[in-house]
Amino acid sequence: MDFSISRGLQTTLERVREVVDLQIIPLEPALLSRPFSELRPALAAVRDEVRASGFWAPQLPETLGGMGLSLLEFAHVAEELGRSPLGNYAFNCQAPDAGNMELLREFGTDEQRRLYLEPLAAGECRSCFAMTEPDHAGSNPVWMGTRAVRDGDDYVIDGRKWFASAADGASFAIVMAVTDPAAEPHRRASLFIVPAGTPGFRRVRNIPCMGHAGDDWASHAELAFERCRVPRESRLGEEGAGFDMAQARLGPGRIHHAMRWIGVCRRAFEMLCDRAATRELAPGDPLGTRQAVQEWIAESLAAIEAARLLVLHAAWTIDASGPSAARDAISLVKFHVAGVMQQVIDRAVQAHGALGISDDTVLSWFYRQERAARIYDGPDEVHKAVVARRILAGRKPSGGEVPR
C-alpha cells in the first residue's frame, strides 16, 4: 500500500493550492453576499486559466480534456480544492457534474456522449441528478414513485424529485424512474437523460436550506415531471439497470466528496488556529492560552489526519481492486469523515464566537452546506448498519440469526 506522492503530483498540488489561495478564496466574500450567478464572469476567468495551465477536470481522462489522474491522485487534488467552496467548480470537477460525467462515460452511447458528455467535460454546460423524492425516504433508494411508462418508441415520465443539486441553470437532468414496478427492487428503475427544455420538465423551486435558497450551481431544486415525454434513445444503459448504475456513480463519488471534506476540515482548522493565536480575550491574553481551545486544536488535527488516511486507503483500494472490494471502506469513509468535518467546523465556529455565525467568514457557508454530508449519498445510520451487517455475517452466531 503506497500513498506516496510523485514529484510531478507534488508540483501540481503546490500550483493548485496557489490558484485556490490567490484566485479562488478572494471570491468567497461575493459568494457569501451576492447571487452565485454574479460570480460566473470572475469564475469563468479562473476556469480559463485553470484550463490553460493543464489542470482542467483532473478526474477525467486526457481523451476528454482532463488530467487523467488515478482516483488516489485525484484524492490529493480534491483535498486542496476543498479548502474553498468554489474550488471544485473552478476546476470542472464539481458535483453533480463529475458523477454524471462518469455515468455518461461508462454507460452512454456514442450519441449520448457526443450530445451530453463532451459539452459537460468541456465546461460548456451543467447538469443535475434527480433521484431523491419528497414523498419517499431517501434512505431507501429503491422505493420511489416516479414512473417512466413505455409509449411506442417513447417513455412518458411522471413524478416529483427534490434536492436535485444545481438544477437551476442545468442543461439536462439524469433522472431515475421506475420502469417495471413488478421487478425485484433493485431492477425496477432506469435512468433517463432529460434536457431541461423538454415539455413537462419543470423546476418548481430552489429549496431554501437554513434560510438560503441559493441560485445557479449553488442551489438544490424541486423538480416536477408531468407527462414528460422522451425518446427511447434518452434511456441511459439497459432498462432496469438504474440502481446499479447509480451505485457505480456513488462509489468513487464518495471518495471525491470525502477528500473535499478533508479540504474543508483543513481550512476550518487553519481558521481555528489563526483565531486562537490572534484573538485576545484581554490585552496580551490570546484565546489559544485556554485549555479547552488547545484540546480542540489537538483533537481536530488527530481526527483530520486519521480521516485523511482512511480516505486515501479507500481510494487506493478502488484503484487496485475496484469499488466492490472497497465497499466497507467507502461506507466507513462516508460516515466517519462527514462526522469529523462537522465537529471541526463547529469548533472553528465556536472559536470565532459571534463572527463564526455571521456571513463575514466562510465558516457560515461550511456550517450550512456541509451539515447535509451526513445525509446525502446515504445517511450515516445506513452506512453504519451496512458495515456492521457485513462484519457480523462473517461470524458464527452462538444462537439465532445475524441481525438484519
d(C-alpha 370, C-alpha 135), whole Å: 23
Give bridge partners of residue 151 from the DSSP assignment: 154
**DSSP assignment of 306-343, as one string?**
HHHHHHHHHHHHHHHH-GGGGHHHHHHHHHHHHHHHHH
- pLDDT, position 79: 96
| Residue among 105, 35, 96, 18 at smallest CA distance from 65 | 105
- pLDDT, position 254: 86
- pLDDT, position 139: 82
Out of 1-10, 66-75, 207-216, least confident range: 1-10
pLDDT in tens, 93-130: 999 999 999 999 999 999 999 999 999 999 999 999 99
Q: Is the pLDDT of residue 301 over 80?
A: yes
d(C-alpha 284, C-alpha 112), whole Å: 64
pLDDT in tens, 333-370: 999 999 999 999 999 999 999 999 999 999 999 999 99
Q: Is the pLDDT of residue 293 over 90?
A: yes
- pLDDT, position 128: 98
All three cell numbers of 272: 481555528
Choice between 250 and 382, residue whose per-residue pLDDT is larger: 382
pLDDT in tens, 204-213: 999 999 989 9
Pairing relationship of beta strands 285-286 and 201-206 according to DSSP bridges? unpaired
User: Are the beta carbons of 81 and 28 closer than 8 angstroms?
Assistant: no
- pLDDT, position 4: 75
Gyration radius of the chain over CA positions: 22
Q: Is the peptide bond before 141 cis (omega within 30 degrees of 0)?
A: no
User: Are the beta carbons of 272 and 230 closer than 8 angstroms?
Assistant: no
- Kindly report the backbone phi and psi dihedral angles of residue 235, in degrees, each rounded to the nearest multiple of 5, phi listed first: -70, 135
Q: Which helix (H) or strand (E) holds 301?
A: helix 291-321
- pLDDT, position 177: 98
d(C-alpha 131, C-alpha 162), whole Å: 8
pLDDT band at 50 (very low <50, low <70, confident <90, very high): very high
- pLDDT, position 251: 75
- pLDDT, position 404: 61
- Within a 13 Å sphere around the CA of 190, how many CA atoms are in the beta-carbon half? 23
Q: Is the pLDDT of residue 397 over 70?
A: no
d(C-alpha 178, C-alpha 404), whole Å: 26
Choice between 353 and 393, residue whose per-residue pLDDT is larger: 353
Q: Which helix (H) or strand (E) holds 101?
A: helix 97-107
Q: Which helix (H) or strand (E) holds 236?
A: strand 235-236
DSSP state of 115: I
Section 231-258 average pLDDT: 90
Q: What's the whole-model pTM score?
A: 0.92
Choice between 1 and 165, residue whose per-residue pLDDT is larger: 165
pLDDT band at 10 (very low <50, low <70, confident <90, very high): very high
Section 365-382 average pLDDT: 92
pLDDT band at 395 (very low <50, low <70, confident <90, very high): confident
Q: Please, what is the Cα angle at 160 between 238 and 140, to 5 degrees?
A: 65
| Residue among 337, 336, 339, 346 at smallest CA distance from 366 | 346
pLDDT band at 42 (very low <50, low <70, confident <90, very high): very high
Mean residue pLDDT of the chain comes to 94
- pLDDT, position 394: 85
- Domains, the chain, ranges and CATH? 7-121 (1.10.540.10), 127-236 (2.40.110.10), 244-393 (1.20.140.10)
User: Are the beta carbons of 6 and 71 closer than 8 angstroms?
Assistant: no
Strands, E assignment, 88-171: 127-130, 147-151, 154-165
User: Are the beta carbons of 122 and 91 closer than 8 angstroms?
Assistant: no
